[in-house]
Structure 1
Amino acid sequence: MKYCARCLYPENAKPTIIFDDEGVCSGCRYHESRMKLEVDWDERLGMLEQILEEAKFMARKRCNSHDCIVPVSGGKDSHYQVWLLKKKYGMNPLLVTFNHTYNTPAGNRNLYNLVEKSGCDLVRFTAGLDSVRKISRYMLKTVGDLTWHYHAGIRTYPFQVAVERNIPLIVWGEHGFAELTGIVSLEDFVEFTRWTRKEHDMRGYEPHDLIGKEGISEQDIAPYIYPSDEDIARVEVRGIYLSNFVYWNANKQAEIMMKEWDFAPITFERERTFNLHSKIEDHANDVHDYLKYLKFGYGRATDDASMEIRHGRMTREEGMVMVKRFDSHEPSTLQTYCDFLGITKQQFYDWVEPMRDEKLWKKNAVGKWEPQDAIFLHEIGDLEKKARVKLSEESTFSEVNRRMYYNPLNPPPKTGERALDESSLSFRVI
């Protein structure tokens, strides 16, 4: 398997990743492009301000009290999006949450905190457990994703609300796929589209494709049905990404939100990554990420370590240690979700078996799947040394980042809040 000479991504990373002649991946090049002098961030901020002023004008014209929608989960990005729009630009956003039911105590704590600190109105749709179970079970068996309803819900329900309430602007945070693998260029000014929702967020499926599978009915898919083209055109709905207009640094933004609005990372060691402040609201993320490892041979530690390497906070050597430590670890919550879906662990692994990338996975003599390669098995040569970025003064595991990343030699202080200090094997529906 070929790996990026700078970060830790393999050539089979999803979505599509491309390596250039210097062995550096498209995700690293995208990150690099954000720091180039020819990107005029002041000009881009001016473009954002114009979009927001137009949204305010349209809200007044339509006698609407809300001038935009911000889809929120309660995570660090949600906090920053709302804070930036309200405090810096004087917007009055309507917060919209699709509650997928697989919530962590920390996630609920931070969502409540966001609503309290922002003072904004919130619309929250909670998916029914019966529907969630049927859809999770079917999509796990079909595409290896028990959280399909997450992506379908948060990428659809805000548009349903926008049409219902006549709000034309939806503001997302970062373009996640661009940040990870560089699927688009910073010059593209990508906006949200129905096509990208289906192909990337929903794995090529529309909700009606699920009807009749595992007993899934029309009622079960209602939250995931995208408004008609006619309704979208009538309301003039568009979805923009703040990361096209603002220099995006999730670490620094989380620190701002911890200071300004009491966003809180967790303090306990996680099973699949060293990061304490990202995706902490998603209880099923450990199993979702483990599925990625079982299919493609890399997981969340690869994602997080690669981003740290790109920012110069972690060396390649340190990143390889993180990958070896976390990526192959079976999460304790796997049994929780097998029980919820009514399957055994063996059934779980049997369903995943045909989805394994055989460029990486092979069965041994006794029929057990084994990875054939891993980043930590590769020596660091001249190509990798040449591709290194300059190291930051604030390393990942330095004292200044004590609350942001778990360092067993210097763990973060406990907060006294159980939701932040203790992991939970069970999810919280509401």
Structure 2
Amino acid sequence: MRYCKRCCYPENAKPTIIFDEDGVCSGCRYHESRSDADIDWDQREAMLARLMEQTRAEARKRGAPYDCIIPVSGGKDSHFQTWLLTTRYGMNPLLVAFNHTFNTPSGQRNLENLVTRSGCDLLRITPSPCSVRKVSRFMLKRVGDLTWHYHAGIYTVPFQVSARMNIPLIVWGEHGYAELTGMFSIKDFVEFTRWTRKQYDMRGLDVFDVVNDAGNDIELKDMASYIFPSSEDVERVNMRGIYLSNFINWEAKRQTELMIKEWGFAPVTYRRERTFNLYSHIEDHANEVHDYMKFLKFGYGRATDAASREIRLGRLTREEGISLVREYDHVEPSTLSTYLDLYEMDKKEFYALFDAKRDPAIWTRDASGDWALRDACHRQDMDQGHEAFRPAMDAGDHIFAPHNRHLYYNPALPPEPSGDPRLDEPAMKFKVL
């Protein structure tokens, strides 16, 4: 298996990744491209300002109370998107949340904080936990993803609200596929498409693929939150989904620090089992299990994602990143038992589901019949070829510097407890509401 000479990504990274002739991945090249001389961030932000002004003017013409929709979860990005649009551009957004029901106490705390601090209205759609269980269990077996309904819901419900309330513009934060693996170019100004939603976020399945599958008891009513508006409604409302990372020089850590200061966003303070990052995806209780399944399929996980991002930004050396990947990526999360109980499944059945889903390019069976990795980034030699592509280090902002102790878990200098058990203690059980 080839691994990027700059970060920690393997060549089988999903949804897509390309290695150039130098052995550097498309995600690293995308990160470089955001600093190209022909990327004028002032000009792009001026474009965003004009778009917001036009959007406000159109809302006034319609007599609409809301200027746009911001899909939110309560996480760091939700805070920043809302803060940016309300304080800098004077927008009155409607916050729309799809409640997947697998919530953490820290996520609930931060969602409440977002609504309180922003002063914005929140519309939260909560599907039946019974329906969620059926859909989640089916998708675990079908595609190896117990959080399929997360992606299907958050990329559908805002458009359902758009159709019902005649709010054309939906504003997302960063384009995740571009930021991680360089799926698109920064020069493309990529916007939301129904094709990308189905192909990547919904694993190529739509509502009727699921309902018509004879191997489950899922009914159409269970899928109500995942039915995209008709083409007629899309055209009538003139729906449009944009990504702020196309217009501003998006940087999650800097924005998180701003939201901690300005609006009281709160990271967790305990050691997480599958990543050293304390501020990202902390609202998602199933994230550790979801990410572990990625490891079972492709041989890498959330620590690879987080380390690669920090390496590109010069806050971590590749050697340090590889060490963190080795420490975290293989760990079976404690919360796996929570979801096995939910699905009435034992571990043997769970692991058997992945026998046919493991990528043979990275997984093989050893002499005893157990699954073993063929390769890993920590088994690669660090030769001179890697040294040539090493990013410049930001000497003042290493992730384990004392001033970052609340953002990244460092066993030598762990974060100080907040005094709030929702932030200081990992939860084995999720909260529906």
* 380-389 vs 359-368, greater mean Cα deviation: 359-368
Amino acid at match of 2:264: D
Q: Is residue 416 of structure 1 aligned with residue 419 of structure 2? A: yes
Q: Distance in 1 between matches of 2:49 and 2:322?
A: 41
Q: CA deviation at 1:117?
A: 0.1
> Per the alignment, in what secondary structure is the counterpart of residue 263 of structure 1?
coil
Q: Distance in 1 between matches of 2:255 and 2:307?
A: 18
Q: Is residue 377 of structure 1 aligned with residue 379 of structure 2? A: yes
Q: Distance in 1 between matches of 2:54 and 2:343?
A: 46
The residue aligned with 1:321 is 323
Q: Is residue 399 of structure 1 aligned with residue 365 of structure 2? A: no
Say what the alpha-carbon RMSD is for the aligned residues. 0.7
> In the TM superposition, what are the counterparts of 1:270-285 in structure 2 within 5 Å?
270-285=272-287
Q: Distance in 1 between matches of 2:279 and 2:385?
A: 32
Amino acid at match of 2:411: P
Q: Distance in 2 between matches of 1:127 and 1:281?
A: 17
The residue aligned with 2:197 is 197
Q: Aligned pairs, how many?
A: 430
Amino acid at match of 1:425: M
Q: Is residue 119 of structure 1 aligned with residue 119 of structure 2? A: yes
> In the TM superposition, what are the counterparts of 1:131-210 in structure 2 within 5 Å?
131-210=131-210
The residue aligned with 1:363 is 365
> Per the alignment, in what secondary structure is the counterpart of residue 171 of structure 2?
strand
Q: Distance in 2 between matches of 1:339 and 1:114?
A: 32
Amino acid at match of 2:113: N
> Per the alignment, in what secondary structure is the counterpart of residue 354 of structure 2?
helix
Q: Distance in 1 between matches of 2:5 and 2:120?
A: 45
Q: CA deviation at 1:400?
A: 1.6
Q: Distance in 2 between matches of 1:191 and 1:153?
A: 18
Q: CA deviation at 1:214?
A: 2.1
Q: Distance in 2 between matches of 1:351 and 1:32?
A: 39
Q: Distance in 2 between matches of 1:16 and 1:70?
A: 27
Unpaired runs of 5+ residues, structure 2, are none
Q: Is residue 100 of structure 1 aligned with residue 100 of structure 2? A: yes
The residue aligned with 1:81 is 81
Q: Distance in 2 between matches of 1:184 and 1:235?
A: 27
> Per the alignment, in what secondary structure is the counterpart of residue 354 of structure 1?
coil
- Sequence identity of aligned pairs in percent? 59
Q: CA deviation at 1:87?
A: 0.3
The residue aligned with 2:258 is 256
Q: CA deviation at 1:365?
A: 1.8
The residue aligned with 1:425 is 428
Q: CA deviation at 1:37?
A: 2.4
Amino acid at match of 1:53: E
The residue aligned with 2:217 is 215
Q: Is residue 11 of structure 1 aligned with residue 46 of structure 2? A: no
Q: Distance in 2 between matches of 1:364 and 1:411?
A: 38
TM-score, normalised to structure 2, is: 0.99
Q: CA deviation at 1:238?
A: 0.1
Q: Is residue 24 of structure 1 aligned with residue 24 of structure 2? A: yes
Amino acid at match of 2:151: H
Aligned partner of 2:306 among 304, 307, 318: 304
The residue aligned with 1:350 is 352
Q: CA deviation at 1:127?
A: 1.5
> Per the alignment, in what secondary structure is the counterpart of residue 215 of structure 1?
coil
The residue aligned with 2:388 is 386
Q: Distance in 1 between matches of 2:237 and 2:150?
A: 25
> Per the alignment, in what secondary structure is the counterpart of residue 54 of structure 2?
helix
**Residue deviations 1:336-357 (CA, integer Å, cap 9, x gap):** 0010011111111111110000
* 212-221 vs 190-199, greater mean Cα deviation: 212-221
The residue aligned with 1:295 is 297
**Residue deviations 1:350-383 (CA, integer Å, cap 9, x gap):** 1111000011111112211111110001111111
Q: Distance in 2 between matches of 1:246 and 1:230?
A: 32
Amino acid at match of 1:351: L
Amino acid at match of 1:416: G
> Per the alignment, in what secondary structure is the counterpart of residue 240 of structure 1?
strand
TM-score, normalised to structure 1, is: 0.99
The residue aligned with 1:244 is 246
**Residue deviations 1:133-164 (CA, integer Å, cap 9, x gap):** 11111111011000000000000000000110
Amino acid at match of 1:417: D
**Residue deviations 1:59-106 (CA, integer Å, cap 9, x gap):** 111110100000000000000000000000000000000000000000
The residue aligned with 1:229 is 231
**Residue deviations 1:253-286 (CA, integer Å, cap 9, x gap):** 0000000000000000000000000000000000
The residue aligned with 2:45 is 45
**Residue deviations 1:22-66 (CA, integer Å, cap 9, x gap):** 111000000111122220011101111121111111111111010
> Per the alignment, in what secondary structure is the counterpart of residue 353 of structure 1?
coil
Amino acid at match of 2:363: W
> Per the alignment, in what secondary structure is the counterpart of residue 307 of structure 2?
helix
* 208-217 vs 85-94, greater mean Cα deviation: 208-217
> Per the alignment, in what secondary structure is the counterpart of residue 281 of structure 1?
coil
**Residue deviations 1:166-215 (CA, integer Å, cap 9, x gap):** 00000000000000000000011000011110011111010111115420
